[in-house]
Amino acid sequence: MSAANRTSVMFAVIVLGLGVCSELLAEPPGLGPAGDLQRIEFEAAGPTTLVGRNARRQLLVTGVYASGQRHDLTHGVAYGVSAPAVLGVDAEGLVTPLTDGVSRVTATEPGGRTATIELTAARCGEDLPVNFENEIVPIFTKLGCNAGGCHGKADGQNSFRLSLLGFYPDEDYEFLVHEDRGRRIFPADPGFSLLLQKPANILPHGGGQRMSPGTYEWDLVSRWIQQGMPYGSEEDPVLQRIEAVPAVREMNFRGRQQLSVLAHYSDGSVRDVTRLASYEPNHAEMAITNAAGRVTVEDVPGEVAVMVRFQGEVGVFRAVIPQGVPVQSVPAEKNFVDSLVFGKLKQLGIPPAPLCDDATFIRRVSIDIAGRLPSPAETSQFIADTDAGKRDRLIDRLLASPGYADYFANKWAAVLRNKRRQATDIQYTFRFHGWIRRALRENMPYDQFVRSVLTATGDAETHPPAAWYREVATSTQQMEDVAQLFLGMRLACAKCHHHPFERWSQQDYYGFEAFFSQVGLKNSRYNMQLNQPDMVYVKAEEPKSRNPRTQQDVVPAGLGSPALEISKYDDARQHLVDWMAAPENPFFARALVNRYWKHFFGRGIVDPEDDLRVTNPPSNPALLDALAKHFVDHRFDLQDLVRTICRSSAYQLSSEPSEFNAADAQNFSRFYPRRLTAEVLYDAVNSVAETPSNFGTIPQGTTAVQLPDNGFNNYFLQVFGKPEAESACECERSPEANLSQSLHLLNSSDVQGRLQSGQGRAAKFAREEQRAAEEKLTELYLAAFSRAPRAEEVQFVMQKLADYQNRQQGWEDVIWAILNTREFQFVK
């Protein structure tokens, strides 16, 4: 048949298989009618006494409405002061002290309602010492001078270097004041200092203009230089934490909220640092921020977090953006998962989709648990079953099937770096994969699974989990992989500097690394001829690491936990797993349940799934906490966790969007369709074409999901994104579509050979002359889509098949068209 006719078959199959896409809700009600404005008030945030000329206070004015709603009016009121000589206030509500005294600030909204606050200015006439760390370094951070793309990068910029984001003020002081004989500062006339002339672009500056003469930043740096560039004294207060005010606010689509950021110091003082803090939303499509701390949300329902950073401390503002549609009915709640998911949807006014039909469910859950398509017989039997508990029983059957252990062993082997780099590695990779699969099949508790890997000792042949150490051979690699894979923490940034998005310091990094300082690797007696260490042993020495910046030893400490005293005769790794698996550990269980939630829903409650940090909060905190508690209470039972998730109505929702939930991308109001993974898609092609896989060095018929390592040269798997086990991050598996994938399914000799096989489904159909074509098409649709063809699909395919003189070629083209549909390539 001609290429044009073949393409027409594919086009028709695709179009006939598409559902109707829903349009977005035109104008959602959001929070609903606010009602009349009842009053305006100042938020009680920030110091009431402004000490010194450097002090500032960002006022927040909130309107309280008849409905109880609270909306930001900071930029919609007029400000006045009772004593203009004492305080100044601009149109954005920023207060600056002028002279000592007391003044009332009054905010007046257009309707005439007012609110008043009394503030005091003190010590304005004194030349208070400027603290370099607390006041000067934050200016460089705010202006971007010490960012990673400017002077904060490792080698600096144009012979001038600052520590990244000002994390090491003592180094910055040395660079500014003493390096190059102090040429960047001119104490005799501060305004002529390079430190001011360059960022003001008075002298040519590659970074452009960052400040102007007469601004707050210019004046403060000038005063610091006039005072003789003091660093500060040991008695000066130290920053303890920062606070974003308000911490959370419900907002309508396209609503705005001014933030105030308060810095709390060791002496109990509080300083407003709103204009010196940096702001960044965790979902750029949901909110934007400006340099002054004003947040504008977009027209996407859900929650967005804005990270606030100042001097190495981070805080979070959360904006809740309800859609506001009445949620009048939800599917029946099967367990606590549904209570928490549907409760969140009710809060946000996002009606969930109805439950999916049986055909969709059996395909979805078979792929997600066992990594395979259900057979036509399985699907027909399941759909015909009228028992109300059939979905629960199907989940149990899949968990008990070999496919569950195969599929999840494939998943874990990749992130545990079960990688074959050369032919001789097969003795390790096959054993390690077999051990992982056996642990999953026998439902080894997750804490024991992790302990077996992390505390592995001996040779990798006798003790397969020791193979993990062959790929992560240094304590740095071991620590970073453990943190990311088992705790959901990306700590690599803290190796060289304070983590820019978290509270973790270099001290935290090297304290965690110290748990692995006793690990040694050597060649086993089975491997004497090769320089490939495959035996793990524990050195008889006290566990410790060294902070390269301080040149001080650091003893083991869990993240956010006190340091441990561990004898040189103990294995520090055992203490690490004890800390990890403790019920009160805030990371271990949450990281695993979030990882599994991502597997089944296509998106983590925290997303990415291995980036659990305070500045990337969960979309449903109560759900994450409840799943983690359930997991701990059930003794880290992985199969129970899978069963709990898959039995929920939330997992069983339809993927068809409605006008009410089409915009939702984080609250699980419907099932989010996702592409089949490379291995599952490869096996699915073989299943539909009825051709066995052949990877050459292992038994024919071994599926791609069952492959023990990466050492099988298969172009299909490569082009569709099978990971090479190079990373502990699941992001190594690419879900993105590309042209090479499309061309491979459309034109490759690999796929065409399967379609044309004399033992394949097309050839079988051609030989079955007595069997009705409609019956064959039903079998094909059940094999590919787990559903029967619709009447219009049957009619069209029958018409096309009648044009073929060669019956096998006709069926080849129909199968080819099906393999190239979105419905086949996605789980929905």
Q: What is the pLDDT of residue 158?
A: 73
Confidence of residue 16 (pLDDT cuts 50, 70, 90): low
DSSP label of 177: I
- Residue 2 predicted with pLDDT over 50: yes
For the chain, the maximum distance between any two Cα atoms, rounded to a whole number of angstroms, is: 103
pLDDT in tens, 700-759: 989 999 999 998 989 999 999 999 988 989 888 887 888 999 999 998 999 999 999 999
pLDDT in tens, 637-696: 999 999 999 999 999 999 999 999 998 999 999 999 999 999 999 999 999 999 999 898
Q: Alpha-carbon distance 291 to 302, whole Å?
A: 24
pLDDT, mean of residues 531-549: 88
Q: What is the pLDDT of residue 21?
A: 46
pLDDT, mean of residues 472-494: 93
What average pLDDT does the chain have? 92
Torsions phi, psi for 365 (to 5 deg): -75, -30
Residue 421: count other Cβ atoms within 10 Å of its Cβ: 14
Q: What is the CA radius of gyration of the chain?
A: 32
pLDDT, mean of residues 255-276: 96
Indicate whether 571 and 476 sit together in one domain. yes
What token pair was written down for 779?
């079998």
Q: Alpha-carbon distance 335 to 647, whole Å?
A: 8
Asked whether residue 738 is domain-assigned, the answer is yes
Q: What is the pLDDT of residue 25?
A: 54
For residue 514, give every residue at least 6 positions away whose Cβ sits within 8 Å of its Cβ, in sequence order, or none: 543, 544, 545, 554, 555, 556, 557, 572
Asked whether residue 26 is domain-assigned, the answer is no
Q: Which of 122, 142, 158 is the last residue of a domain?
A: 122
Q: 108 by DSSP, 3-state: which?
A: strand
pLDDT, mean of residues 225-245: 94
For residue 212, give every residue at least 6 positions away whose Cβ sits within 8 Å of its Cβ, in sequence order, or none: 200, 218
pLDDT, mean of residues 211-240: 93
Indicate whether 431 and 541 sit together in one domain. yes
pLDDT, mean of residues 437-450: 98
Q: Alpha-carbon distance 477 to 470, whole Å?
A: 11
Asked whether residue 399 is domain-assigned, the answer is no
Asked whether residue 627 is domain-assigned, the answer is no
Asked whether residue 697 is domain-assigned, the answer is yes
pLDDT, mean of residues 263-272: 96
CA dihedral for 407, 408, 411, 415, sign (positive or negative) = negative
- Residue 1 predicted with pLDDT over 70: no
Q: What is the pLDDT of residue 755?
A: 94
Indicate whether 468 and 610 sit together in one domain. yes
Through-space distance between the first and last CA atoms of the chain, rounded to whole angstroms: 32
Q: Are 549 and 607 within 8 A, CB to CB?
A: no
Confidence of residue 14 (pLDDT cuts 50, 70, 90): low
Indicate whether 49 and 105 sit together in one domain. yes
CATH code for the domain in which residue 260 is found: 2.60.40.10
Confidence of residue 255 (pLDDT cuts 50, 70, 90): very high
Q: Which of 321, 349, 364 is the last residue of a domain?
A: 321
Report the number of distinct structural domains present in the chain: 5
- 34, burial (CB in 10 Å: exposed 0-12, middle 13-18, buried 19+): middle
- Residue 3 predicted with pLDDT over 80: no
pLDDT, mean of residues 429-454: 98
Indicate whether 483 and 507 sit together in one domain. yes
pLDDT, mean of residues 213-231: 93
Provide the Cα torsion 58, 64, 68, 71; round to 10°: -50
Asked whether residue 741 is domain-assigned, the answer is yes
- Residue 508 predicted with pLDDT over 50: yes
| Residue ranges making up the domain that contains 298 | 239-321
pLDDT, mean of residues 477-501: 88
Q: Alpha-carbon distance 695 to 712, whole Å?
A: 7
Lowest average pLDDT, out of 491-495, 581-585, 648-652, 677-681, goes to 491-495
What token pair was written down for 92?
């954005």
- Residue 147 predicted with pLDDT over 90: no
pLDDT in tens, 30-64: 999 999 999 999 998 889 999 999 999 999 999 99
Indicate whether 150 and 82 sit together in one domain. no
Q: Alpha-carbon distance 378 to 400, whole Å?
A: 16
pLDDT, mean of residues 533-549: 91
Lowest average pLDDT, out of 130-134, 484-488, 497-501, 713-717, goes to 497-501
Indicate whether 177 and 310 sit together in one domain. no
Q: What is the pLDDT of residue 312?
A: 84
Confidence of residue 9 (pLDDT cuts 50, 70, 90): low
Bridge-partner residues for 310, per DSSP? 313
Asked whether residue 342 is domain-assigned, the answer is no
Q: What is the pLDDT of residue 119?
A: 97
Asked whether residue 234 is domain-assigned, the answer is no
pLDDT in tens, 359-387: 999 999 999 999 999 999 999 999 999 99
- Residue 529 predicted with pLDDT over 80: no
Lowest average pLDDT, out of 90-99, 300-309, 722-731, 808-817, goes to 722-731
pLDDT, mean of residues 294-323: 94
Indicate whether 591 and 449 sit together in one domain. yes
Torsions phi, psi for 513 (to 5 deg): -65, -30
Q: What is the pTM of this model?
A: 0.89
Q: Among residues 189, 238, 230, which one has the least CA distance to residue 213?
A: 189
- Residue 526 predicted with pLDDT over 70: no
pLDDT in tens, 193-202: 988 998 888 8
Q: Which of 598, 618, 638 is the last residue of a domain?
A: 618
- Residue 17 predicted with pLDDT over 50: yes
Q: Are 241 and 313 within 8 A, CB to CB?
A: yes
For residue 71, give every residue at least 6 positions away whose Cβ sits within 8 Å of its Cβ, in sequence order, or none: 34, 62, 63, 65, 251, 255
Q: What is the pLDDT of residue 19?
A: 47
- Residue 500 predicted with pLDDT over 90: no
Indicate whether 581 and 458 sit together in one domain. yes
Q: Among residues 217, 154, 99, 173, which one has the least CA distance to residue 496?
A: 154
Q: What is the DSSP string of 323-339?
A: --------PPP-SHHHH
Indicate whether 214 and 254 sit together in one domain. no
Indicate whether 485 and 581 sit together in one domain. yes
Indicate whether 499 and 435 sit together in one domain. yes
pLDDT in tens, 754-803: 999 999 999 999 999 999 999 999 999 999 999 999 999 999 999 999 99
Above pLDDT 70, what percent of the chain?
A: 96
